[in-house]
Amino acid sequence: MLQTLANRTYRRLFLAQVIALIGTGLATVALGLLAYDLAGAEAGAVLGTALAIKMIAYVGVAPIAAAFSERLPRRAMLVSLDLVRAAVALFLPFVTEIWQVYVLIFVLQSASAAFTPTFQATIPDVLPDEKEYTRALSLSRLAYDLESVASPMLAAALLTVINFHSLFSGTVIGFLASAAFVVSVALPSPKATERRGIYDRTTRGLRIYLATPRLRGLLALNLAVSAAGSMVIVNTVVLVQAKFGLTQSDTAVALAAFGSGSMIAALLLPRLLDRTPDRVAMFSGAVILTAGLFIGALAPNFASLLPLWLAIGLGYSLAQTPSGRLLRRSAQPEDRPALFAAQFALSHACWLITYPLAGWLGATVGLGTTFTALGLIAVGAIVAAARLWPAQDPDEIEHVHHALADDHPHVAGATRVGRGHRHTHVFVIDSHHPDWPAER
């Protein structure tokens, strides 16, 4: 897996991602302490609102940002967004009102909603070989999982010598370092072959996504992933500390078990995907995490919760990590930023549903029922994904063009069929192919 880092451009982008993630993790810890400092016992409500604002920014801003990114050099855009995020982090220690937190969080997460899909869409152009790209996806998953473990530990160590306001300085340094790594490399910026209006550019990624069967299946799998992930993220502390009567350290251990499962899957995926289709791997992961939800309804104790969270983490990564491969094979290079932005927005829309559902059900009907309810959502999502994403999903598809003129370059060499032209090639939704061919 590490041989992918031999590519200088990717190595620097990966370092930019890791450093920015650590900075974001420090900000997450500091934000919780800041909320408590400003709101006291109401800190939970403040953080809940901040998370909701984050999700709204992710869902609403990503497609709009992708529309404008088409006309901007990727490197300049990514560096500018890192600088915006650094500036917001610089202001956070000086806020004195809760509404100021909300405004700054919206700006920060809006910048992230523009940065992340553009960054993700750049990697397939930097690593065109599919095996190298698969390793890069696994490395990225490992980076996210390690950040969730390392950032709180680093924050705890720093808090022994500095106050929490100073943690935001680590965030600023992280974003500035990320910008420095990005600016140090030349990045490809594929341009659209035709000029498009703002509406077309804003909605293009969503239209490609929803018109592609494998991506409609991916959206359903996103819902299954968010159902299990929300149960873990929202209710681990409730299970461990309220139900089992254990400590904050035990909560951290449980979350680490989930992260460990995800890391194990990320390490295994490159070899697994060499011999297993993406669809099989992703559905297997979804089945594992769904089974985990139903097992959780049997009222586990702490000793059984740890392997359960490990299994759900494994299924979580298995179902989610290959999604970049699906997006890569489902669009032209110039359309990838829009498509990655659509995945970013739609997947977070799933979390926007399941996050509050996991919290509300856990508080009102009990954790056992919550496990079952989220498990049923995951089952429904898997069934929908199986119907939406055909088992036979070839890259090359025979199809007929009825709207292109005889002398159009795209149908050169095609077979004339009535008033249309039939040919076979790698099929993606684009200007020449606005609809998926009907199954014959």
Taken in order of first residue, the domains within the chain and their CATH numbers are 1-188 (1.20.1250.20), 208-390 (1.20.1250.20)
Residue 228's pLDDT is: 95
Q: Cα(335)–Cα(274) distance, rounded to whole angstroms?
A: 26
Percentage of the chain surpassing pLDDT 70?
90
pLDDT score at 132: 86
Collapsed DSSP state (helix, strand, coil) of residue 89 = helix
Q: Give the helix ranges, DSSP H, for 188-277.
A: 198-211, 213-237, 248-275
What pTM value is reported for the model? 0.84
Look up residue 316 and give its two tokens. Answer: 């979580």
Q: Are strands 420-426 and 396-401 parallel, antiparallel or unpaired?
A: antiparallel
What is the reported pLDDT for 32? 66
- With contact defined as beta carbons under 8 Å apart, do 290 and 224 qualify? yes
Higher pLDDT, residue 236 or 439 = 236
Within 8 A by CB and 6+ apart from 336, the residues are: 121, 124, 125, 190, 327, 328
* Whole-number Å distance between alpha carbons of 412 and 195: 23
Is the pLDDT higher at 330 or at 72? 330
Residue 216: partners with Cβ closer than 8 Å, 6 or more residues away:
209, 210, 388, 389
Q: Are 298 and 375 a contacting pair, CB within 8 Å? A: no
User: What pLDDT is attached to residue 136?
Assistant: 83
Residue 198, pLDDT above cutoff 60: no
pLDDT tens digits, 355-407: 888 888 888 898 999 999 999 999 999 999 999 999 998 888 988 998 888 88
**Predicted local distance difference test score (pLDDT) of residue 54:** 80
pLDDT of residue 108: 86
Nearest to 328 by CA among 72, 128, 65: 128
Query: Would you give the distance in Å from CA 49 to the centre of its chain?
Result: 21
Q: How many whole angstroms from its chain centre is CA 260?
A: 18
pLDDT at 2: 65
> In the prediction, which pLDDT does 312 show?
96
Please list the residues that pair with 421 across neighbouring strands: 401, 416
pLDDT for 48: 64
Look at residue 189 in the predicted model and tell me its pLDDT: 66
Q: What is the mean pLDDT of the chain?
A: 85
Q: How confident is the model at residue 79 (pLDDT cuts 50, 70, 90)?
A: very high
Is residue 440 predicted with pLDDT exceeding 70?
no
Q: In the sheet that 415-417 helps form, which strands lie side by side, from edge to edge? A: 396-401, 420-426, 415-417
The Cβ-side half-sphere exposure at 380, using a 13 Å CA radius, reads 9
What would the mean pLDDT of 91-117 be, rounded to a whole number?
86
Q: Could you tell me which residue, 220 or 171, shows the higher pLDDT?
A: 220
Matching residue, tokens 């289709």:
277
Distance CA 429, CA 149 (A): 39
User: Which pLDDT band holds residue 224 (cuts at 50, 70, 90)?
Assistant: very high
Q: How far apart are CA 426 and CA 397, in angstroms?
A: 6
Q: Can you read off the two tokens belonging to residue 243?
A: 């139900």
Q: What is the pLDDT of residues 342-358, one digit of tens each?
A: 898 899 899 888 888 88
| Contact in structure between 89 and 108 (CB atoms under 8 Å) | yes
What does the pLDDT average to over 298-311?
Answer: 91
C-alpha 340/C-alpha 333 separation (Å) is: 11
Q: What is the mean pLDDT of residues 20-31?
A: 77
Q: Is the pLDDT of residue 109 over 80?
A: yes
**228-244 average pLDDT score:** 87
Q: Would you state the torsion angle of the CA atoms of residues 67, 87, 75, 190, taken in this order, to the nearest 10 degrees?
A: -10
Q: Is the pLDDT of residue 186 over 80?
A: yes
> Half-sphere exposure (CA, 13 Å, Cβ side) for 65?
29
Q: 3-class SS at 408?
A: coil
Question: Which is more confidently placed, 274 or 188?
Answer: 274
- Rounded average pLDDT over 123-134: 84
